[in-house]
Each structure stands twice: as C-alpha cells, then as structure tokens.
Amino acid sequence: MKTIPMLAATCLVICLPIQAAETFRPIELKDQELAQLRGRYVMPGRIISFGVVMSSTWKNAVGDNIGARVSMQIQESTIKPQFYVTSTNEAGNGGTPNAATGSISGGAGLNQTQGVTQSARSAGDYNTAYNNVGINVSEADQAPAINNQGVPLNGTYSATNGAGTVTINPSSGGIQMAINANGQGNSVQQLARGGMLQATNMLGSSNLVNNVTQLNVVLRNNLPTVGALDCNLTQLKGLRSMGM
C-alpha cells in the first residue's frame, strides 16, 4: 500500500460536480487555504477544458472479464456536467474458477486518507493488479471537441457476468466504481473531495485487475498581452531603482 500526497489531483477533484448535477462554477479560496498551497498555479480563464476518465476491469482465471469506463469533460460553455458510461463484458472459456481460499483483514482506514491512496493486497497465487493515476496537462488555442462515449450516468449503474458485478455510484462530491468478483475478491476506485482511492483485494488465484484514472487539463495558450508586458516592464524598473 502506498499513499501519494498529490496536490494537483486533489485540487482538480474539488472541481467535480456534486452528483454531476450542479452548474459548474469556480470556487473562491480563502486566504487561509491559499497560504497552505504549494506548487504551480494558473490565472483565471486559462483552463479551457477539464476531463476525467476512470476505468476498472477484473479478469478471472477462466477469462471472464467485467468492468466499466466512466468519462466526463467540462469546458467553458458547459452548463451541466455529465458522466458517461461504457461497460466491459467478455465471456471466458465457459469454466468456473477455483473457489478462493485466502482471506484479507484490515484496510478500514483507506477511506480516511487524503491525496492519492493506492492499495493492492493478494491472498492467492499468480494475481496481478495495476493501480494508476495520470495527469495530462496540455495547451491549445481552443478547447478540444467533446467526445461523449457511452450512455449518460443518471444514477447507480451496474452490470454482471461470470467474473462478477461492477457498480458505479455517483456520490456527493464525486464518483465510486466498485467490482465484486464472485468470491475472488473486490476492487474499488473512488474520486471525491479530498482525494483519490484505488484499492484491490484478491482472495483467489490467477486474477488480473486494472484500476486507471486519467485527469486531462487543457490550458489556453499563454500568449503575452499588452497588460502582461507592461507588468514585466514595471518590475524591471523597480529592480533598476534598487541598483540592480
């Protein structure tokens, strides 16, 4: 298990809508909050597009594969943010995996962390689990075209096959994707106010689990303006008056 205090991811999480239903609007931070922040910042108006893509899959020993992908993109013109869902449903060779005999205890504190928390625990053999969070920041003259794939997520979503059941639940201030793998274990991805959680518990053997979240931010090209040039010139004059 590892916990990564990733300020950028945490700040972006704040921008997620409450149940993706409220109008997207900026939030003014208080001086006390700003005093505790570290890192790079952008001026208002530079962020022209923000998107999040979350996907989880679980493939068992006989090849059954269950999972889903959730995506959302917000732009300057966005009035009501909306999540979209596509499912993964693949049948294996028709067999049944061996019953799990392992057990895992503890882990209740994972839901109380901040930042990015990742956990992969295995009580079986030949299991593989990937937890990954990526942040992609780019610049452009205009926001990219919105590409909504899947069906709108307007409430709890679930799908089932031989590998288990995947459930997506838009909660207050974020979203959760969980997989119950028919006794082979479970996994969860949760993106909410305060952080990101990716956790996998594998009780059986020969399972392959993937939890991936990608945050995409597009900034407007920071071309110099007359006001910015005047500001730089004023700063240079100030240095000159100090004897530099």
- pLDDT bucket at 16, cuts 50 / 70 / 90: very low
- Give the residue numbers spanning the domain of 83: 2-241
Number of domains in the chain: 1
Span 105-126, average pLDDT: 86
Q: State residue 42's pLDDT score.
A: 62
pLDDT value at 125 more than 90: yes
Average pLDDT over residues 43-61: 87
- The answer to whether 148 touches 71, Cβ cutoff 8 Å, is yes
pTM (2 d.p.)? 0.75
pLDDT for 158-188, tens place per residue? 999 999 999 999 876 789 999 999 999 999 9
